[in-house]
Structure formats: structure tokens, C-alpha cells
Structure 1
Amino acid sequence: MDFTAGGRLEVRITPSDVGKRVSVRRITEIVDGRPVFADSVGILTSWDEGVLLVTRRDGETVRIAESSLVAGKIVPDAPARRGARAPRATARELQESAARGWPAQETARLGAWTLRAAGGFTRRANSVLPLGDPGVPLTEAAARIARWYGQRGLPAYVQVTTGGEDSDASLAEALGGLGWTAEGHALLRTAALAPIADLPGVEAVRLSREVDTAWLGRYHRTGDLGDEALKVLTGGPSVWFATVPGDGGEEDSGPAAIGRCVVDGRFASFGAVEVDPAHRRRGLASAVMAALARKALDEGASGAYLQVETDNDGARALYDRMGFTTHHAYHYRRGPQSAGG
């Protein structure tokens, strides 16, 4: 790829370009006095404390030291294939993408497991993602997890995937034997992105990179966790917020509908799709998702996924009509010392 401008390598990106698709070149090593280069193309996920994270289309995140960067530029969004099926992905790939799109503010490693905390805002951002081996016996891992969350005044949760080739059914059973109880049962559902983008009503939807007070006022989960929630909501590889203004304008009545989408490589994740009860049955939820899906297509995604609780029959019926099917199920195991946490 051509990085040169006037015959020289140049870094033409800055931290303000986070969320954009970039191409970067870095020095990986010096061999016989000469640098060896590596190139990466993807979404600039973050640029903090001298480290860049670039998420490629396959979902892999490349960690790049700013000091090794020799060239970088913004590149046009890759056109997505408008297929009728979602791209294939394992449960692990989708859970890793979901973690990037709903990022915890504090993490710690326990072998291949990731402990996540975000001030208690949602179980997803305040639970262990157990992808692989914790490196210690399960009884010791469970004790360490309970201590880590207890030090933060949080209940200890482990997110457990069930079904599919990445099933953690044996882990769920083992945790159950240690007294960890099951709760928060949910489904991760996938669909092709293009049919969603073709749904009507997008002309009523406003899209923004920023979340405002009107959007937050409609979102039911923020409550008293505004600061922590905002950090989670605005985090992710490429985040978009959708708003349908109310009949009297947002200032008077609040938004009629809202939604959020995170574009991460091949997939776009959807969440926080909420409609004012006074405006339901007008197709606003599908309009919000259509507008977000069009933006995700523009950024190169071709698949969609979302997470929905198993007992939310209304949402499941809506997503059925949009073509979503269940990829796998998951739930949380709560530690026995976490009652009332």
C-alpha cells in the first residue's frame, strides 16, 4: 500500500481519528540494522497512553506502540457485500466482539479469562468472560474472582455461553456445583445486515457519533450510574447513536425512539433500541435499526447481531421479523457470596 507523500512516510492520523478506518505501518523489529515493517488496516479502536488499537475486519485487535508507528492514513470504507446471510462466526468471536462493543472500564486477566468491571452498569460489563483456561483450578479461580469483585463492591458474575461449538455447559455445571447460581438468561442472535438496511422509515432517524441528554433520558438503564454508563455506551470500535425526535421536539417530549450500533469488522451490534410507549406500533424500532444498518454497511460490515433476554417476547418477535435467528444462548453465574451485591 502507498503511504508516501512527496517520497516520505508520514503519519497522517491522530487520536481524534478514533472510530475511523485507517491503514498503518509500524516497525516490528530491526534485522541486520534494517527495520522490518508490518501493515494493518481496520478501525482505529483507541489511542491512549502511547498505544493504538486497530480492529481488523476479522475481529482481531492489533496493539501498536505509538513509538513504532512510521506511517498512517485514513482509508475509504470498504464496500460490504449485500448478502442474504450473516457471515459465519463462532460464539467466541461474537462474544469477543460484544465485549469490544460494550467495553468495561477496568479489566484484569486470570489466565485466558477476562475480569471486567464498570461500576456495576450492566452484568455484561461487570462479569468474567471465560474464553479459554483460567490457568488455575476452578475452585481457586472462583475464589479469586469473588475477591476481585468484592474489593470493588460488586457481585461476582461469570458469563457462560451455552450451545454451539464454543459451549461452556461443563463450566456452568461446575460453577453450579460450587454454589454459583444461574440468572440473566439471554440469546445472541444474528442476521444479514443488508435486509435490515432496506427497511423503511430511515428519513425520520437522526444519527450521531455523540450521545446527548435527550438520548440518555429515553434510555432506561442509565439511572444513577450516568458517568459509568456513559463510558460504556460511548466505547467501542465505531459507535453510532440513533434518535427519532418526538412530536413536540426532543426538548418538549423527549425522543420517540433511540438505538445504538457498534461497527466492528464484519459485524454490527445493535442495542439500546427503545421506543416511547406513546409512539409504539409505528415501525420506529425497525426504522432506527435500518438507519444504523445503512451506516454499518457503509463502513464495511455485512452481518448484524444483538443480545436479547429470553423472556422478552416482544423484542424476540420483532427481531424474528427482521430475519434474526439464534446463534447461541448465554447466561450468568453469580457467586454464592454475592447476594445483595
Structure 2
Amino acid sequence: MEISATGRLEVRITPADVGKRVSVRRLGETGAGLEKFTDTVGVLTSWDGGVLMITRRDGERVSIPESSLVAGKVVPAAPARRRGPAATYPELAHAAARAWQPVESERLGEWELRAAVGAGPREAPRAGVAAGPREGFTRRANSVLPLGDPGLPLDAALAAVRRWYGERGLPARVQTATGAEGTQELLCSELERRGWVREVTAEVWTGALAPVADRAEGAGVVLSRSADEAWLARYQRKGVSEVALRVLSGGPSVWFASVPGAGGGEPPAAIGRCVVDGRWAGFAAVEVDPGRRRQGLATEVMAALARRALDEGASAAWLQVETENEAGRALYAALGFTPHHAYHHYRAPEEPEAPSGAERL
């Protein structure tokens, strides 16, 4: 906290510091004659009507009455990383976008509108799979990547986003990030003010590639350039369509890994996917037969993919993991990965229907 020359705590932030990373201390509840203080660190996203709004690293928004402030100051934009490869948020966001390529995209200033659906009102399913609602395959390939200025005022940009996705029969979504230098806490705040709903929060973790490659021999791992029927049988997303296959197979250099099952005709015991892109290797779809877990198969899959990525010149790795995936987070931490930033998908609120016979403006 900021302390004056006289030893007193001071508030050294103002509404002019909106958009900056701050650390504040506020007076909370009191009990037994003792004062209780709470510290909050994050990006100051608004200061209106005597209330501060601070967005934490994980995207949580904290409302703080100005009257409760005891101390506050602006702090460095992001904490120093102690280990792992150095990476900026835009660099990782572009790498992740190339690993989950849409079927079509369009630029709106520096925003990229991305969609992965088939023609017609529903995505054409693969043989034997029933048609489902038109959502597109994976939010990562069906959302806006807002890296920079859309070239329009925000409300006009969001209206253009709604139109573009509406023309494709898709809900409008925007992917944002928090917790690193250059992330979009202010945009998150503005979306929430407009009623956009945060659907999913996950994290991007990074780590050095060589230690992953050294963890296991992976002699039983089979690598392929395509996802065959056996690989898809283990993949958790059932009913994979032709569009989904295009997304899964898209990327600079894509590899699929599998550990054959115990008997003929059974799905693989474990699978994984890796996209090699310059110095980066992006891991995804690491899944293990529930009956074969805790046998090191996930590590073997990642090690085999890491060795292939090293052969292609990569040196660093990234992956995306949901906050609720405790088993996955424990595995990745053991392999040397650490959190870099959180990312979120916001969905546009439903627009109210116009009264019957009325003209929609």
C-alpha cells in the first residue's frame, strides 16, 4: 500500500486512472472492536457515482464504495513471470486463433469476426449423427477476436457483430481476456454494462517444450496428420461434423496422437492434438479412457507430440484449460506449465421481439 512520509496510508488513485492496474485497501466489516481491511488488485474499469469497479486477473469484478477506501496506488501492468517462456497476450491470442481456424472470417477494423458452420440453417452432420442446433463448432472458432480498434464506436461495432452472426444463424459472441498486460478488462466491463453474458471462463497456460518431451518415452503413441474414426471415437465432442473436422485439421502444422486400446475395434486409450506454429506448440484434446487414467497415458501423449514439435523448431508450448478441470490443471502444473491469462466468452443478450405489426428500427 502507499504510505506517506508520516507513516499514514494514502489513496493515490483518481478516476483518471481508469484502465490502469491498481492495488487498493478498503475498510470492511468490523468486529470485536477491530477494524478489518480487504486488499484488491486488478484493473480499475470504472469509477462512477462514488463506486469503483475493479476487474481481477480471473475476470471477477469487485465493486468498492469510494467511502471505504483506506489506501490505493497504481501498480505495474502485470506481475513479473518467474519461469516459463516470455509471451505477450496478443502473441498467444494469435497463436490460439490459428490453432482453431474458422471456416470463414471478416475484419471489422482490428477485430476478426470468425465463424465455423456449414451452409443452411443447420450444420450438416456426419453420417449417422442427428442434426443439432446451429451453434457452430467450438466457441473459439465462432466468436469475435477483438485485438485492437474496431474502427467504430463500441455500440456500432457490437451492432455490426450482431448482424454478421445473425446472418449466419449464430449467436453473437466476443472472446476477451484478463490478467496480463494488454488484455481487455475495460472491454469486459463495457460488455457487462450492456447486458452481454459471460458463458465460459478458462485459462491459457504456457511452459517450456523440452521438459515435456523428456517426461516419457511414448513408444506406444501413434502420430498422424488426420483424425481418423478411432481418434474421433475417443474425442469428448460427440457427433463431429464435417465442419468440425475442418476446424480440428486446420492450423499451420497439425498432429493427432493416440494410444491404441487394449483390444481390436476399441477406441484409443488416450488421444491428443498439437498445432505447431513457429516457436509455439499448442496442445488440445488430451483425453484418456476413464478406466485407464492415472497410468501416465496423458503424459505419454503430450511427450510424443512435444518431441515432434521440437523436431519442427518449436521451443515453447501453450494450452487452454477450464478452471473446473482440476485433474488437467494438476497434470499441466506437474509438466511445468503456469497460468498466463484468463479468457472469457461473452454472448449477446437476447433482443426483445417487436410487437406484432410494429416496424423494428
Q: Pick from 257, 260, 270 the counterpart of residue 283 of structure 2.
A: 270
Q: Which of 329, 332, 338 pairs up with 2:342?
A: 329
**2: CA distance, partners of 1:218 / 1:226:** 15
Is residue 286 from structure 1 mapped to residue 299 from structure 2 by the alignment?
yes
Corresponding position of 2:100: 102
Partner of 2:133: none
Say whether 1:235 aligns with 2:233. Answer: no
Q: Distance in 2 between matches of 1:233 and 1:287?
A: 21
User: Are residues 1:319 and 2:335 paired?
Assistant: no
CA contact (8 A) 2:84 2:338 kept: no
Residue number among 306, 312, 317 corresponding to 1:304 in the alignment: 317
Give the structure with the higher percent helix.
1
Aligned 8 A contact 1:86 1:302 in 2: no
The amino acid of 2:253's aligned partner reads: S
Contact kept, 8 Å, 2:202 with 2:323, in 1: the verdict is yes
| Per-residue deviation, residues 277-319 of structure 1 (Å, max 9, x unmatched) | 1111110001000000000000100001000111111111111
Matching residue of 1:196: 212
Pick the structure with greater CA Rg: 2
8 Å CA contact retained: 2:198, 2:345? yes
Q: Partner amino acid for 1:303? A: A
The residue type paired with residue 327 of structure 1 is: H
What CA deviation, in whole Å up to 9, does each residue of 1:49-85 have, x standing for no partner? xxxxxxxxxxxxxxxxxxxxxxxxxxxxxxxxxxx96
Paired letter, 2:108 = L
Q: Which amino acid aligns with 2:100?
A: W
2:253·2:277 contact (CA, 8 Å) conserved in 1? yes
Matching residue of 2:229: 213
Deviation at 1:206, TM superposition (A): 0.5
8 Å CA contact 2:84–2:337 kept in 1: the answer is: no
Q: CA deviation at 1:337?
A: 2.2
Question: How many residues end up aligned between the 2 structures?
Answer: 253
In structure 2, C-alpha distance between the alignment counterparts of 1:295 and 1:85, rounded to whole Å: 23
List per-residue Cα deviations over 1:144-179 (Å, max 9, x = no partner): 111111111111110001011111000000011111
Q: Deviations over 1:170-219 (max 9, x none)?
A: 00000111110112100000000000001114101001112101001111
* Structure holding more strand per residue: 1
Q: Percent of pairs identical after alignment?
A: 61
Gaps of 5+ in 2: 1-81, 118-135, 353-361
Aligned-pair CA distance for 1:254: 1.0
Mapped contact 1:156–1:338 kept (Cα < 8 A): no
Q: State the SS of the aligned residue for 1:261.
A: strand
Distance across 2 between alignment mates of 1:320 and 1:227: 34
Shift of 1:88: 1.5
The separation in 1 between residues aligned to 2:172 and 2:165, in whole angstroms, is 5
Q: Which runs of 5+ in 1 are unaligned?
A: 1-83
The alignment yields a C-alpha RMSD, in angstroms, of: 1.5
Match of 1:183 in 2: 199
Q: Would you say 1:260 and 2:273 are equivalent positions?
A: yes
Equivalent residue for 2:145, pick from 120, 123, 129: 129
Residue identity matched to 1:99: A
Q: Is the 8 A contact 1:86 1:193 kept in 2?
A: no
Matched residue, 1:168: 184
